[in-house]
């Protein structure tokens, strides 16, 4: 089985960047995804280049901060900030395919400009539930020949029909109250028939800057639970893979 343990939100803050790199150095994760429009993108890239065997993908972000491209009016409010994710997911606003495609492509190109070989594409929040964004995600995965995260079975079937690589299943269980090392063991044990799996983490450290900009402050808890997972001998039994191994 190819097991990917991916840390989201690389680039969000220095403390998250440091936690993700420590998790990689300790053998706890095999992959990360960067938010290319966040304040600590350059810090993340610099750290990754010193640890370049860590798989790195693009964490496509259309719901936090501001776009990096101009004139994507359907994605932003009057302050040129992205709409809140629930408005996007629930289609409370009309997002055009053209704007979604333009901004996602700009984020891909910006990451490529750092001389990074992109491992895969995934996305911040459940923006794939929006039809215009969903189509743009698939089209750009095909255009750049990149694997794509699929959270649910319906999206997985669509993606594979289009010839895009994606793991056989995905777990979001390791989060909030479910951020226990046992949840990862249970997920893997329950999917022994799969040839590839992804487990999502939000591991990292928490500092004041991070607390001010995100409501999710259990990142250090997740990191410590991954350390407990290692202490149980899990990583000796399950060698980690990256999206590029699919």
Domains of the chain: 2-245 (3.20.20.370)
Q: Kindly state the DSSP code that residue 83 receives in the 8-state scheme.
A: P
Q: 119 phi and psi, to 5 degrees?
A: -80, -40
Maximum CA pair distance of the chain? 52
pLDDT in tens, 221-244: 999 999 999 999 999 999 999 999
Contact assessment for residue 118 and residue 57, using Cβ atoms and an 8 Å cutoff: yes
Residue with tokens 């969000």: 12
Contact assessment for residue 215 and residue 206, using Cβ atoms and an 8 Å cutoff: no
pLDDT in tens, 83-95: 999 999 998 999 9
Tally of CB atoms within 10 A around 33: 30
Q: What is the mean pLDDT of the chain?
A: 97
pLDDT in tens, 169-218: 999 999 999 999 999 999 999 999 999 999 999 999 999 999 999 999 99
pLDDT in tens, 19-34: 999 999 999 999 999 9
> What is the C-alpha to C-alpha distance for residues 139 and 32, in angstroms, rounded to an integer?
22
> What is the C-alpha to C-alpha distance for residues 231 and 218, in angstroms, rounded to an integer?
20
Query: Is 2 strand, coil or helix?
Result: strand
Kindly report the pTM of this predicted structure: 0.96
Average pLDDT of the segment spanning 63-72? 96
Contact assessment for residue 136 and residue 100, using Cβ atoms and an 8 Å cutoff: yes
């Amino acid at each position: 089985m190819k097991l990917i343990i991916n840390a989201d939100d690389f680039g969000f803050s220095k403390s998250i960047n440091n936690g993700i790199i420590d998790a990689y150095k300790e053998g706890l994760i095999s992959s990360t995804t960067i938010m290319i429009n966040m304040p600590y993108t350059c810090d993340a890239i610099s750290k990754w280049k010193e640890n370049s065997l860590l798989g790195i993908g693009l964490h496509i972000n259309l719901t936090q901060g501001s776009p990096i491209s101009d004139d994507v009016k359907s994605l932003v409010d009057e302050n040129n900030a992205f709409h809140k994710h629930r408005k996007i997911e629930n289609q409370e606003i009309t997002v055009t395919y053209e704007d979604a495609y333009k901004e996602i492509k700009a984020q891909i190109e910006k990451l490529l400009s750092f001389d990074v070989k992109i491992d895969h594409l995934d996305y911040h929040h459940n923006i794939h539930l929006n039809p215009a964004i969903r189509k743009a995600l698939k089209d750009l995965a095909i255009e750049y020949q990149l694997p794509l995260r699929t959270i649910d079975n319906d999206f997985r079937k669509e993606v594979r029909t289009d010839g895009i690589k994606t793991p056989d299943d995905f777990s979001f269980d390791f989060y909030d109250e479910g951020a226990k090392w046992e949840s990862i063991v249970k997920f893997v044990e329950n999917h022994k028939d799969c040839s590839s799996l992804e487990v999502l983490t939000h591991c990292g450290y928490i500092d004041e800057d991070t607390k001010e900009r995100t409501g999710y402050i259990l990142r250090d808890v997740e990191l410590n639970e991954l350390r407990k997972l290692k202490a149980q001998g899990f990583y000796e039994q399950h060698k980690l893979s990256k999206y590029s191994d699919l």
